[in-house]
């Protein structure tokens, strides 16, 4: 049974993937749990943003902007909720909404299955995500936040590298076409 | 409306809602407690389970796998501990030796008029019945047979054999040994000799002489080997005998743990005018004459 369907845009032929039942909520929840727990034991793991990687992956795979942005909103708000009172609800929500939308939109136009493409896209989305967070903090919350620095650069590279391997794992959650 | 526009409108709407949410939080400082409660309530069980799971894994790792090197570490530490114990024992031995040598030096300085040489004990007797020690000085160092051997604590014995580089010393406790002595308080003179036991005896003190336990016994100088007033020992036991008291004396020098000694490099340390005003023990008429201290 072929559960995937094709999205035709002009001459391109890009496959849209569906996932096993419960795979998206479980992956999202797992990413949030690990993200909340990992930095407590490994300080350097704070560079990772697993919920962001899940949003990017699902956005690139589902290739539906509405689904992507709603998923980004949900994941972002949950991440805000788990980040304590110093992070207002909506900070990461807005950023991941934008990333979810962009990932879904871009996924509908490009073939994002190649590891190099995934690496570059993840690094780009990480930077966009940080830019939106910084913008929100500076403009809406009047809080100091660097646009970009060496740590964020390292974060972009680390997340992109992790994404290459994580996405291969998440590919296994797809329903066979 | 095209699907792309729909999603754009949705994006704008969602972002606007979240901006409003932010604004509400800032204005009311409410921090969206309900949403936080729901999210935390949904996620915390998984966090707790993950934490327990990780804790179990970490414990297993730390208490089993990570302990594989503990045995080797323990062996290394044990060896290091043994080496350190040995080192401490060596240092303690050296410190004790330094103290003893300092005492010897001090004693030599006090007795500067008597020529003497320090020697190290390098061996004991090969026969249990013979109470002798071997020292690392001999005829090359001026040592001759019958010279006195002492420590700052007291008399040790006499040189029984002198070789080129070593000498054999007959301890005061040996049956063949003897030294001219007197009681420090009553000044009663009597030779003291060994009986092959740790205690030595003073045999020729008449029963009617007043002697008490604990009294010090010193050299009299009459044997012309040892200078007078050197400690010989302390009386530990007195029994009436026929015809003399049986007096047992604990040697002043620790003859069982000798490590360094001084050899008196003279056979006649006592000059004529140095004879102490001592009262010789008068044996009773019926008793045999007390033997003289034999200089082997």
3-state class (DSSP) for residue A15: strand
> Span A105-115, mean pLDDT?
82
Q: What is the pLDDT of residue B293?
A: 37
> Span B215-237, mean pLDDT?
88
The answer to whether A35 and A50 have CB atoms below 8 angstroms apart is yes
Q: pLDDT band at residue A158, thresholds of 50, 70 and 90?
A: very high
Which of B26, B50, B54 is closest, CB to CB, to A141? B26
- The number of beta carbons lying within 10 Å of the beta carbon of residue B38 is 13
Q: What is the pLDDT of residue B201?
A: 93
Which residue has better confidence, A36 or B32?
A36
Q: What is the pLDDT of residue A56?
A: 93
The answer to whether A101 and A127 have CB atoms below 8 angstroms apart is no
B7 in A contact zone (CB under 8 Å): yes
Q: pLDDT band at residue B127, thresholds of 50, 70 and 90?
A: low
CA distances to A163, B50, B253 from A52, in Å: 10, 20, 88
3-state class (DSSP) for residue A9: strand
Instruction: List the single residue in A with minimal CA-CA distance to B26.
Output: A141
Which residue has better confidence, A105 or B292?
A105
* pTM, 2 dp: 0.46
Q: What is the pLDDT of residue B268?
A: 65
pLDDT in tens, B163-206: 888 888 989 988 888 899 999 888 888 899 988 888 999 988 88
> Span B77-92, mean pLDDT?
88
Q: What are the start-end ranges of the H helices in A2-114?
A: 23-41, 50-62, 65-82, 91-107
pLDDT in tens, B231-271: 999 999 998 887 888 899 999 998 888 888 999 887 765 44
> Span A111-137, mean pLDDT?
90
pLDDT in tens, A60-91: 888 788 888 999 999 999 888 877 667 788 88
Q: What is the pLDDT of residue A130?
A: 92
Task: Tell me how far apart the alpha carbons of residues B166 and B87 are, in angstroms, rounded to a whole number.
Answer: 30
Evaluate if residue B291 carries a pLDDT over 60.
Answer: no
Opening angle at CA B265, ends B197 and B280, nearest 5: 55
The answer to whether B219 and B226 have CB atoms below 8 angstroms apart is yes
Find residues 27-86 of chain B whose CB sits inside 8 Å of chain A.
Answer: 31-32, 35-36, 38-40, 42-43, 46-47, 50-51, 54
Residues of A in contact with B4 (CB under 8 A): 65
Is the Cβ pair A90, B40 closer than 8 Å?
A: no
Q: What is the pLDDT of residue A126?
A: 94
Q: pLDDT band at residue A53, thresholds of 50, 70 and 90?
A: very high
Task: Give ipTM to 2 decimals.
Answer: 0.76
A12 in B contact zone (CB under 8 Å): no
Closest of B152, B154, B153 to residue B104, by C-alpha: B152
Task: Tell me how far apart the alpha carbons of residues B177 and B191 are, in angstroms, rounded to a whole number.
Answer: 10
Pick the range with the lowest mean pLDDT from B3-12, B44-53, B280-289: B280-289
What does the mean pLDDT of chain B come to? 79
pLDDT in tens, B22-52: 877 766 555 555 566 667 777 777 777 877 8
Is the Cβ pair B40, A85 closer than 8 Å?
A: no
Closest of B162, B181, B128 to residue B264, by C-alpha: B162
Evaluate if residue B55 carries a pLDDT over 60.
Answer: yes
> Residue A121: which H helix or E strand, with range?
helix A115-135
Task: Tell me how far apart the alpha carbons of residues A91 and A36 are, in angstroms, rounded to a whole number.
Answer: 16
Closest of B231, B232, B216, B219 to residue B270, by C-alpha: B219
Estimate to the nearest angstrom the gap between the alpha carbon of A140 and the chain centroid: 23
Q: pLDDT band at residue B64, thresholds of 50, 70 and 90?
A: confident
> Can you list the domains of chain B with their CATH numbers?
111-270 (2.40.10.340)
Q: What is the pLDDT of residue B281?
A: 43
Is the Cβ pair A88, B31 closer than 8 Å?
A: yes
Residue with token string 């390098």? B122
Which residue ranges make up each domain of chain A?
Answer: 20-171
Q: What is the pLDDT of residue B217?
A: 93
Is the Cβ pair A101, B11 closer than 8 Å?
A: yes
Q: What is the pLDDT of residue B294?
A: 36
Which residue has better confidence, A165 or B69?
A165
Task: Tell me how far apart the alpha carbons of residues B168 and B149 are, in angstroms, rounded to a whole number.
Answer: 10
Q: What is the pLDDT of residue A129?
A: 93
Is the Cβ pair B46, A91 closer than 8 Å?
A: no
Q: pLDDT band at residue A162, thresholds of 50, 70 and 90?
A: very high
Is the Cβ pair A89, B36 closer than 8 Å?
A: yes
Pick the range with the lowest mean pLDDT from A26-35, A37-46, A160-169, B274-283: B274-283
Residues of A in contact with B54 (CB under 8 A): 37, 41
Q: What is the pLDDT of residue B156?
A: 93
Evaluate if residue B149 carries a pLDDT over 90.
Answer: yes
The answer to whether A62 and A68 have CB atoms below 8 angstroms apart is yes
Selecting from 3.90.660, 1.10.1760, 1.20.1300, 3.10.20, what CATH number does the domain A20-171 have?
A: 1.10.1760
> Span B60-76, mean pLDDT?
80
Q: pLDDT band at residue A12, thresholds of 50, 70 and 90?
A: very low
> Span A97-110, mean pLDDT?
88
User: A81-87: long-range contacts (C-beta < 8 A, 24 or more apart)?
Assistant: A81/B32, A81/B35, A81/B36, A81/B38, A81/B39, A81/B40, A82/A32, A82/A35, A82/A36, A82/B39, A82/B40, A82/B43, A85/B31
């Amino acid at each position: 049974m072929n559960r995937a369907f094709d999205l035709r845009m002009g001459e391109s032929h890009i496959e849209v993937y569906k996932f096993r039942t419960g795979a998206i909520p479980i992956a999202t929840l797992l990413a949030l749990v690990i993200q909340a727990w990992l930095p407590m034991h490994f300080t350097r793991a704070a560079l990772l943003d697993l919920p962001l990687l899940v949003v990017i992956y699902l956005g690139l795979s589902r290739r539906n902007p509405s689904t992507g942005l709603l998923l980004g909103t949900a994941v972002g708000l949950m991440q805000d909720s788990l980040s304590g009172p110093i992070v207002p609800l909506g900070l990461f929500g807005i950023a991941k909404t934008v990333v979810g939308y962009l990932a879904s939109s871009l996924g509908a136009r490009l073939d994002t299955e190649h590891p190099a493409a995934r690496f570059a896209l993840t690094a780009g989305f990480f930077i966009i995500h940080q830019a939106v967070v910084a913008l929100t903090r500076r403009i809406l919350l009047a809080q100091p936040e660097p646009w970009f620095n060496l740590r964020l650069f390292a974060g972009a590279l680390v997340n992109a590298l992790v994404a290459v391997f994580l996405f291969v794992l998440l590919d296994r959650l797809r329903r066979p076409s | 409306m095209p699907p792309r526009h729909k999603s754009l409108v949705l994006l704008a709407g969602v972002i606007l809602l979240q901006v409003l949410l932010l604004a509400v939080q800032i204005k009311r400082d409410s921090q969206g407690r309900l949403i936080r409660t729901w999210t935390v309530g949904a996620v915390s069980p998984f966090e707790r389970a993950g934490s327990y799971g990780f804790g179990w894994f970490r414990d297993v790792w730390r208490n089993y796998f990570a302990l594989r090197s503990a045995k080797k570490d323990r062996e290394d530490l044990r060896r290091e501990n043994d080496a350190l114990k040995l080192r401490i024992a060596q240092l303690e031995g050296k410190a004790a030796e330094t103290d003893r040598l300092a005492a010897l030096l001090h004693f030599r300085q006090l007795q500067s008029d008597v020529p003497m040489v320090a020697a190290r004990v390098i061996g004991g007797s090969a026969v249990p019945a013979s109470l002798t020690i071997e020292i690392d000085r001999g005829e090359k160092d001026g040592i001759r047979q019958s010279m006195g051997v002492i420590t700052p604590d007291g008399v040790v014995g006499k040189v029984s054999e002198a070789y080129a580089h070593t000498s054999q010393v007959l301890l005061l406790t040996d049956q063949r040994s003897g030294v001219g002595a007197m009681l420090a308080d009553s000044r009663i003179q009597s030779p003291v000799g060994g009986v092959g036991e740790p205690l030595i005896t003073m045999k020729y003190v008449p029963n009617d002489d007043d002697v008490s336990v604990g009294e010090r016994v010193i050299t009299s100088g009459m044997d012309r080997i040892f200078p007078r007033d050197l400690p010989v020992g302390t009386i530990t036991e007195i029994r009436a005998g026929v015809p003399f008291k049986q007096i047992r004396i604990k040697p002043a020098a620790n003859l069982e743990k000798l490590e360094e000694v001084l050899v008196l490099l003279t056979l006649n340390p006592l000059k004529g005018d140095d004879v102490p005003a001592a009262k010789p023990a008068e044996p009773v008429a019926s008793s045999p004459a007390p033997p003289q201290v034999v200089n082997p």
